[in-house]
Amino acid sequence: MKLLVFLFSVFIVISASGTTTDIQTVVDSVTGEQLYACNARIRHVSTGSEQECFSLSTGEVCHPENIKPGDAACVCRSKSNHGDLLVAETKNGKVQSVAGGPEWDSLVPSTDSFGNQLRNIDIALGSESLGAEYAVTFCYAGPEELLKQKTSKDEQVQDLSEGKYRLDVSLAGSNYGRALDEVSFAYVCDQRDRGNHTQPRKKSDTAPPSGRVEDDSSYETLFYGAGANSGDAVRFVKEELILNQDSSQVPRFCVFEFKFREKSGAKLKRDPKHSSGNFTGKIRVCKQGSCP
């Protein structure tokens, strides 16, 4: 079994320019597993009271109290949370973007994530105040059924893809830590022999039914924040998270997500001395007995 390895580096720049999140994957060619960055989301809840409003039709300044039936929407937002932007390029070269607003917004709807393989992501945090929250999502398509050929009439057919699958994850970063409040990691998996979708994933099954991963197994951990790491550095290593407790309950589809939350408050301005952060990390999925 070839190791399914995802290596990534996240560079966060507190300016309008931003930098690139590089993505590399190694796929198990035998069982058809896939692991790739597939979505990202962002929000920035305002802590300031000063608002500005614009017409969605003309882009001109408007006043909500003057809007009449049939007029274009007048959208208001805080002056202090402008400038946070995610820009991504897909595997086929399509550019996607989403700006930070008061509600979570993603590059694509979560139900479309598995069909959205990303090549790179730019995270540009240009807002005046801290308070941004953002997350990067990875999609995992589990192993296809791999039947061992019988060598005799009495021998039972064996599915070589069955076994306990292990998730190793790590994240490290520096400098930007003073601006962070929390960093967390979570996953949700749909498994064989559980829930509504019990059969092994077929080669033609590139996404879960309806695009939603059924929660047969899930996990969430905080590895930076209250009671965890603190200060400038973020260091987290979590090895041997078991995705399935029974060998027959092989993961069919999973989503993994790193989530970052900055400190918030109207008086917490971005500090040029801590304007960028370099994060490196790894996600690895392998079947026990074949892991290094």
pLDDT digits (tens, 9 = 90+) for 50-99: 666 777 777 788 887 888 887 878 877 655 556 788 888 898 999 999 98
For the segment 96-112, the average pLDDT, to the nearest whole number, is 93
Q: In the chain, pLDDT over 90 holds for what percent of residues?
A: 34
Picking from 246, 236, 279, the residue whose alpha carbon sits closest to that of residue 23 is 279
In this structure, which long-range contacts are made by residues 155-163, counting pairs with CB atoms below 8 Å and at least 24 apart in sequence?
A: 159/200, 161/31, 161/200, 161/250, 161/287, 162/247, 162/248, 162/250, 163/247, 163/250, 163/287, 163/288, 163/289
Whether residue 59 is contained in a domain is answered as no
Specify burial of residue 41 (Cβ count, 10 A radius: 0-12, 13-18, 19+): buried
- The pLDDT assigned to 165 comes to 92
Whether residue 56 is contained in a domain is answered as no
**Residue that the structure tokens 């202090």 belong to:** 80
Whether residue 70 is contained in a domain is answered as no
Ranking 40-44, 109-113, 125-129, 281-285 by mean pLDDT, the lowest is 125-129
Q: In the chain, pLDDT over 70 holds for what percent of residues?
A: 74
**Residue that the structure tokens 């069982």 belong to:** 31
Whether residue 235 is contained in a domain is answered as yes
The structural domain count of the chain equals 1
pLDDT-based confidence at 199, cuts 50/70/90?
Answer: very high
Picking from 147, 132, 126, the residue whose alpha carbon sits closest to that of residue 40 is 132
Whether residue 28 is contained in a domain is answered as yes
Whether residue 232 is contained in a domain is answered as yes
Instruction: Note down the domain range covering 257.
Output: 4-49+75-146+158-287
- The pLDDT assigned to 115 comes to 96
Mean residue pLDDT of the chain comes to: 80
- The pLDDT assigned to 17 comes to 40
Whether residue 57 is contained in a domain is answered as no
Whether residue 14 is contained in a domain is answered as yes
**Residue that the structure tokens 């027959």 belong to:** 248
Q: Tens of pLDDT along 226-279?
A: 555 556 677 777 767 899 999 999 999 999 999 988 887 666 776 655 555 667
- The pLDDT assigned to 18 comes to 44
| Distance, CA of 289 to CA of 239 (rounded, Å) | 15
